Amino acid sequence: MYKPEELKIRRRTWLKVSGVPINSVGWLLKDCSDIESDVVTSLRGWMSHVKSKRIIRAYGLKTCGKGLLMTGMPGFGKTTLASSILQEMITTFSLEEFDVKDTVLVRPCYFASYNKILDLKGSVIGGDVTESDIKLFQGIMGGCKDDAYNIRILVVDAVGKEHKSLSGWQVNVIHDIIRNRHTNGFPTIVTTNLVPDDWEDMYGPATRSFLKEAFSTIPVKTVRGDLRLRT
């Protein structure tokens, strides 16, 4: 684990605005010792592609914008893994590795539950938001005109557990997030208890089909089952 107070100011600020859950702050992938080693190896492989500029706005490459779909049973550490990936990037990646050249970067990585993003979108539509909230939502979508606000790595946590509306608008929002970010070359990390085949029932055939293009699927496995049952 690392100590947030020992980070340089820019990285401390990135961490502060990242939305990483408080109980995960300080965690890196090396601290996820309950996760099977082949899972961690796959995640490190993806991160190495990001670091070598084969993911973020890597136009012309098949890996451009390709994120991670982390699936698994409840209590298998998906949320902790996702927040650890973000923190590893926040604490080690350079501006160049985040594809920043001539500007600052307000929030390179961001963690939010899908419910939180739905609530933010609802507020934006309703007009009851600040300019900062608007730019956050635009950055989540990867389409902010001010590139400093475009989130390079987004975690959408707990997809499939969101509140359902009568209009079913949550079905369209997840598709829009994934497709818009992928189109703009920004990867998304999704954590979910759903297996890919469940997505067609939940979010429609178009979204199910697009998963293959937008993600590498990582089934998360642990060395001792449900980590929440540990004594």
Instruction: Give 71's pLDDT tier (boundaries 50, 70, 90).
Output: very high
> What distance in Å separates the CA atoms of residue 134 and residue 155, rounded to the nearest whole number?
18
Contact 26, 1 (CB under 8 A): yes
Q: What pLDDT band is residue 225 in, cutting at 50, 70 and 90? A: confident
| Chain segment 22-45, per-residue pLDDT in tens | 999 999 999 999 999 999 999 999
Please report the DSSP string for 75-139 in residue order: TSSHHHHHHHHHHHHHHH--TGGGT-SSS--S-SEEEEEHHHHHHHHHHHHHT---HHHHHHHHH
Confidence of residue 230 (pLDDT cuts 50, 70, 90): low
Query: Tens digits of per-residue pLDDT, 164-183?
Result: 776 778 889 999 999 999 99
**Token reading at 33:** 């010792």
pLDDT of residue 231: 47
Q: Look at residue 155 and tell me whether its pLDDT is greater than 70.
A: yes
- State the helix-helix crossing angle for 9-16 and 78-92, rounded to 10 degrees: 150
pLDDT of res. 169 = 80
Q: Which domains does the chain have, with CATH numbers?
A: 4-222 (3.40.50.300)
- Residue 139 confidence class, pLDDT cut points 50, 70, 90: very high
